[in-house]
Structure 1
Amino acid sequence: MPSLNHIHLIAPSYPLTAQDIELTKSYFENLGMRITVPSNLLGEDLLCANKDEIRLAHLKRALNDSSADVIWLLQGGYGLTRLIHKLLPMEKPRREKLFIGCSEGTALHVFLNQFWNWQTLHGPSALTIAKQKVGTQTIEDVLQILQKGFSRYIPPALKPINPKARAAPTLSGMLVGGNLCLLQCSIGTNWQFNPLGKILFFEDIDERGYGVDRMLAHLQQANMFDDAKAIIFGDFVGGNEPDGTSLVPAVIQRFAENIHLPVFSLPGCGHGDENFPLPFNIQLKFDVEENRK
């Protein structure tokens, strides 16, 4: 039996079908895991899987369940940012759970990392794995973490983008971050992400070059990079120009050349064909690919 055996599936964001929920539940039950899904997970709402108060109640119930090991986002979309500020008055549960998710899940990563000091896992949604919409290596890596925890986790090698990164044989520290748009959305809120001393990870989907540039400029002008340790860019999928090209790589390169921090890339982490798991709020040591001896 897996060591992280009891999984709460949550849908705090976009709606999905009952068939997708059952498919996901069956997939993980067939792996020997115990799955909890609220009976009223789906309901009527303008944008999300259910009304705010019901989605919030589901989230709080999962966080407070003393028997739960994992809280897993069924799918992303939009909706968590409507709920996160309502978690701030909540008393921290005695038992820590491992939250898994990406994209919209970034908001919950920020809250759990900063306010409760919990470790979380940036990785594919539960539905994405159940439908096998990511590569075999991603699925195997995530399942190994469920079985063994982080004891056997080896961080992937980074690719340096700027001179400061090329001068570093390794990069050590705590990784935080997630979806660039969601992190920008936190600015000015009472759950604003705190980059102090951290390695920042960014990824996104369907953002054109000017949009990525605007978000990075906003964060820079808000002094969010002043006390960070380094920046890692994961995959930026989609967002092509009308002619089919992408300006995002050039935008990231220009940004890297004009910032005081070492900047790296990490292909295979984000919304692409692979979404390798990345532990947040845990001490990691990355090799730097071109600098290994």
Structure 2
Amino acid sequence: MDNPSTLVPLLVPLVTALVISVAALGTSCWFLKVGALRDGRVLSSYAGIFVPSLALALGVGHLSLDMAHAISAICPLSVVLGAMLLVGITFVGGYLWRQHKLQRDLASLCHPASPAVQQRADKVAQGFAMVIAPVLVIPAERPLAFVLGIGEAEVCLSQGLLDTLDPVELEQVIAHELAHIQRRDNLIALVSTFFLGVTAFLPSSWWAFSHLLRERELAADELAVSVTGKPVALARALLKVAVPDHPAFSPAAGLIQPDTIDMRVKNLVRLHHLKQEAARPHPLSKGGREKLWLLGLTLLGPFPVGWLIFALPHLLHLP
């Protein structure tokens, strides 16, 4: 029977990965609790998914390599690691399949928006310094608004939404969807879905993912308001399609998440009282910083985490 002391260095990578995961989750909770800047809260929610999945994958990989060397056989943990990656790929495949299916189903139903709606969308897009694809209209009575696609994203609105909102409110909804495009939220969702799949067995990953969805909606609201300067109009639009006793009530994909509507409206009212519309920070600088941080975390994060997990047993001079 192996000496228990020889198992210590085998377990260190996994223990290190769990400690890093807990630290990442704790940091995310702290950012959400103290109400840090919105970009930081989105980043911390993303890190709450990314860092645990990365740390556990590297920890299980290191542990399986050490155990396979010790027992001269395929380590069961290698199968666990493969299963983690397979589930992550499956989650991504499901996300892409849903996007493709939605695009295919809507191709025969959607029609280009009227010149008046398209003109309003182009006007709002100028504030984002971007050129958008033609806005698509879905012949549905439910108020819907969402962004479709990852590369060449398109804004889709339902006829019910166009009939419910006045022109000013409609501009704010379009600005919210353009903010999602500017921030590349669909791409962030795709990457986050993979990391969620890798650690789908961790409740903390689902918690962090739900907070990421909530924070990106709040961030898109803030970015839209920084361009249009009309937070009250956006709040009014949200209430028109989300208040249960309103005749037009119906959860709207991409526009409404019932569990966050109260928080979004309160945040918009706060922005109104702060008169943030007068400051008007440039949307490219605000959204650009967050994208750089997310890209840096994704590309550079594996190096320090991997170094710590693989080097810690040697740094501790374990037997």
Normalized against structure 1, the TM-score is what?
Answer: 0.28
Normalized against structure 2, the TM-score is what?
Answer: 0.27
Q: Which has the higher strand share?
A: 1
Task: Give the number of the structure whose alpha-carbon radius of gyration is greater.
Answer: 2
Q: Which has the higher helix share?
A: 2
